[in-house]
Structures are given as C-alpha cells and as structure tokens.
Amino acid sequence: MTRLRRFKQVDVFTAEPLKGNALAVILDAEGLTDAEMFAMARWTNLAETAFVLKPESPEADYRVRIFTTDKELPFAGHPTLGTAYALLQSGLKPKNPGHLIQECGVGLVRVNQLAEGGQAFSAPPAKLKPLAAEHNALLATALRGGKIQAGVTPVATDMGIIWLVVRMESAQDCLNITADAAAISELQTRLGVNGIAVYGLHDKNGPADYEVRALIDEDGVMKEDPVTGSANACLARVLKAAGFPDGAHMAEGYRVRQGTKLQRDGRVTVTFVDGEPWIGGDTCTLIDGTLDL
C-alpha cells in the first residue's frame, strides 16, 4: 500500500535556483525497501536521491541513505548539505543548537548552520594514495585539451567515495579539458576510483580561488557533475596534506567555482577549523510537496 511522503527537490551550492546541483529528498522514507529506493532514484534520474530515516545512533538527528540510479553511496557531499537544509526547512529541531548530526554509511557527519546562511559539513577523514607514474600517459589522454601541472602528483582520495584529484596549470586549463570517456573509464577501472576531480588556480582577481570540475564515465557515457561536495572535500584534504601550496592564507579557507562548462554557477566555501576542512554552501528549494509512494 502506498502512502503520502514529504518530498523536496533542492538546488545545492547555490542561492540562485537552477545554478547548482539538484537533489531529491524523500523526508519520510521509513518502510521503503532497497528495491523501492532504487526505483525512486531511477525515476528522479538525478545524480543522487536521499532517503531520510530514523537514526540508529542516539547522537544523530537523522539517518540518510544516498542512492544514484545504480548504486548506494556511503557518503556524498551535496546530498549531505541538501538533506540537512530540507529537514531544517521542514521544521526539524536539532538536538544541539546550531548543528545537525547526520548518520550515513561512513558514520556520523556534523553539519553546521552558518551565521551568514547556508550549511557546512565536516569533511570525513580520507586515505590519500599518490598516482603511480605508469598511469600518467593515460591520465593525459583522459584530460586532453588541458595541461596537467608538472611536478604535482595526482592523488586518489578515499572518503567513502573516491576521487582522483588532479591539479591543472590554471583554472582555464580546467575549462579547456575535452575529456576522453574511454580513458577516464579505464582509469576508473584500474584505480578503483569513482571519477576524476580536476582543479586549477584562478588569477588573483578571478571569480573564486579555484575552478573545479568533476568528470565521470558511467557505462561508456561521459558525465560531468555540476557541483560536488565530496570532490571538494577530497581536494581540501589534498591541499592540506600538501601544505597549502598556494599560500599560508589558504589554511584559513578558500572559495571554489564549479559547473561553469554546464552553464551552472556553483559556489563552494571551504573553511579550516582547528586544521579540519568544512565544506559549505547555500541551498534553495525548487519543489516542495508529497509523493504517493
């Protein structure tokens, strides 16, 4: 028997509708089977669909399961911010003033409400593995059109979802990439990564500090994620491990633009608190209603 369930579709990492990354949030997911969650995720046909459940941990405000059209993710960034925002907008009262505790596949993730608006999540710990030189030629083919920064080793960064983080010579080199889907697919298979996150430094007076793109091959189809919380969290971990190569001031925080090639304008703020990265941004609601599911 179906029932009416609260539903929101939100745009994450933007204060302006249609400029960020869309997320479907089913706010009453109790009783749904895995098969039904997958079916719903395929129906929305978005990058991710989030299902909110009662928490199992006494510390958590809620539990979330995150589905793509073909797999469940233990963690993802824009679903973390989008789900927290949707719950707050729906009247959820945090157990602790000023922040929520999300329970998900990687454990407990704290999501702060920012004084200036928006939310920020604490980036989970990550395992960093430098790319072996034997893969450099394939990587250059995968990122044709852009120049990879010489002397900076790409790093596979694992925080439940795994991104190969690659530095380009400039922000423009990120935008110049014409990705080779076959080469990206081969890299994903060889390295066991979910995709490639490229970044490059903007000029001093640019629209942000870094330009970021997140490139993924899915079943032979080249896709680009509009704005990616997990990729930016992985980048923050890589920059910290490298000692903030673009200046000590970066240890306080920096700004990212993502989605430019897709005619989006996603904005991500990264702030370091006691040396730990927090990934933040705005969210807005586009659809608010119920599902008969």
CATH (one of 3.40.640.10, 3.10.310.10, 2.170.150.20, 3.40.1280.10) for 5-122+281-291? 3.10.310.10
Q: How far is 221 from 269, CA to CA, in rounded Å?
A: 30
Of all helices (H) and strands (E), which one includes residue 85? helix 77-89
pTM above 0.85, yes or no: yes
DSSP state of 115: T
Q: What is the pLDDT along the chain (293 residues), one digit of tens a residue?
A: 689 999 999 999 999 999 999 999 999 999 999 999 999 999 999 999 999 999 999 999 999 999 999 999 999 999 999 999 999 999 999 999 999 999 999 999 999 999 888 999 999 999 999 999 999 999 999 999 999 999 999 999 999 999 999 999 999 999 999 999 999 999 999 999 999 999 999 999 999 999 999 999 987 789 999 999 999 999 999 999 999 999 999 999 999 999 999 999 999 999 999 999 999 999 999 999 999 99
- pLDDT of 2 reads 85
All structural domains of the chain with their residue ranges = 5-122+281-291, 127-262
Q: In CATH, what number does 127-262 get?
A: 3.10.310.10
pLDDT at 220: 79
Orientation of helix 229-241 relative to helix 77-89, angle to 10°: 120
* Domains 5-122+281-291 and 127-262 are alike in CATH topology: yes
Pairwise CA distance, residues 290 & 48, whole Å: 18
pLDDT of amino acid 1: 66
The residues carrying an active-site annotation are 48
User: What pLDDT score does 221 carry?
Assistant: 86
What are the φ and ψ backbone dihedral angles of 49, each rounded to 5 degrees? -125, 135
The reported pLDDT for the residue numbered 219 is: 78
Residue 219's SS3 state is coil
Q: Are 29 and 37 in contact (CB under 8 A)?
A: yes
Instruction: Enumerate residues 6+ apart whose C-beta is below 8 A from 187.
Output: 135, 138, 139, 142, 164, 193, 196
Q: Which helix (H) or strand (E) holds 291?
A: strand 283-292
Q: Sign of the CA dihedral 17, 104, 253, 179? A: negative
